[in-house]
Amino acid sequence: MTLTFTDPKSLDHDTIEEGTAFAPRFDAHGLIPVVTIEAGTNDVLMVAHMNAETLSLTLETGIAHYWSRSRRAIWKKGETSGELQEVVELRTDCDQDCIVMAVRQTGRGAACHTGRKSCFYRRVSVAGVEARLEDTGLPRLFDPKAVYGS
């Protein structure tokens, strides 16, 4: 089964913004950015992309499937690491060119391939004209070398 989405070109501006038709505006590469947050805390875990196929797979199965731009392949999150993401809610924005997906992170609770809960483990600090990064202290929940073997 594959879900059908409305073609955004078939809708006027007001219908895209206020209507009930889900008309995801995929970009020139057929992708839409997805902000994945932890259900409950709203912590941003990661940002990735879906195409129509993986968006459909995600909605059908309730398990997050992304499109890997580097591997050009369907990316069932956690297939290697065991850190599957169970979808709780999927929202889109006013112009339907982005998705926020609330999930329950399974496994050891690490959405990031570095073994941390979130990919956003560094904050920017400014000193003079230079911007640098500081670790926010998120612990590693797994050893990436042991999990990915490299």
Decide: is 104 part of the binding site for a copy of itself (CB under 8 A): no
Give the one residue of 63, 84, 100, 147 binding a copy of itself; rule: CB under 8 A: 100
Closer to a copy of itself by CB, 22 or 84: give it.
22
Q: What DSSP assignment string belongs to 35-99?
A: EEEETTT--EEEEEEE-HHHHHHHHHHSB-EEEETTTTEEEETTTTTS--EEEEEEEE-TTSS-E
Decide: is 7 part of the binding site for a copy of itself (CB under 8 A): no
Give phi and psi for 10, each to the nearest 5.
Answer: -85, -5
Closer to a copy of itself by CB, 42 or 139: give it.
42
Binding site for a copy of itself (CB under 8 A): 1-5, 17-22, 33, 35, 37, 41-44, 46-47, 59-60, 89-94, 98, 100, 112-114, 119-124, 126, 129-134, 136
